[in-house]
Chains A and B, each alone.
Chain A
Amino acid sequence: MTTAAWKIAADLPDPELPVVTIADLGILREVTEDDQGRVHVQITPTYSGCPAMETISADLVEALTQAGYQRVDVEFVLSPAWTTDWMTEEAKAKLEAYGVAPPGPVALALSVKCPQCGSLDTRESSRFGSTACKSLWVCRACREPFDHFKAI
Chain B
Amino acid sequence: MTSADYVLGLADDALVSAQRMGWWISRAPQLEEDLALANIGLDQLGQARSLLSYAGTMLDRTEDDLAYLRDDREFRNVWLVERPQTDFGVTMARLLLFSAWQRELYAALVTSSDATLAGIAGKAVKEVAYHLDHASQWVIRLGDGTDESHSRMQAALDAEWPYLDELFEGAPELRPAVLARIEQVVAEATLAVPEVAPVVGGGRHGLHTEHLGYLLAEMQHLHRSHPGATW
The smallest beta-carbon distance between A28 and chain B, in angstroms, is 17
Q: Is A13 on the interface with B (CB-CB < 8 A)?
A: no
Contact check, A128 vs B134: say whether CB atoms are below 8 A apart. Answer: yes
The minimal Cβ–Cβ distance linking B52 to chain A, given in whole angstroms, is: 12
A128 with B35, Cβ < 8 A, contacts A45-B46, A47-B43, A48-B47 known: yes
**Could you tell me the dominant secondary structure of chain A's interface residues?**
loop
A50 touches B115 (CB 8 A): no
* Residues from chain A with Cβ under 8 Å of B39 in the complex: 128-129, 131-132
CB closest chain-B residue, reference A50: B46
Within 75-108 of B, Cβ neighbours of A (below 8 Å) are at none
Q: Which of A29-37, A64-72, A76-84, A88-96 contacts B (4 or more CB under 8 A)?
A: A76-84
A55 CB to nearest B CB, Å: 14
Min CB distance B136 to A, Å, is: 11
Nearest CB of chain B from residue A104's CB, rounded to whole Å? 15
Interchain CA distance A50-B42 in the complex, whole Å: 8
Which one of A47, A136, A150 lies within 8 Å of B32 (CB-CB)? A136
Q: Considering the chains assembled together, what is the distance between the CA atoms of A127 and B133 in angstroms?
A: 9
Number of interface residues of B (CB under 8 A): 27
Q: Known A125-B32, A127-B130, A132-B42; judge A48-B115 contact (CB<8 A).
A: no
With A and B bound together, what is the CA distance between A48 and B42 in angstroms? 8
Whether a CB of chain B sits under 8 angstroms from the CB of A51 is yes
Interface string of B34-54 (1 = CB under 8 A from A): 011011101111110110000
Asked whether A126 is an interface residue with its Cβ less than 8 Å from the other chain, the reply is yes
Sort A-B residue pairs by CB-CB distance and give the 7 closest, nearest first: A49-B46, A48-B46, A79-B119, A126-B32, A128-B36, A49-B42, A81-B122
A residues sitting closer than 8 Å to B (CB atoms) are 45, 47-51, 77-82, 125-132, 136, 150, 152
- 7 example contacts (A-B, Cβ-Cβ < 8 A) are as follows A47-B42, A47-B43, A48-B50, A48-B127, A51-B42, A81-B119, A81-B126
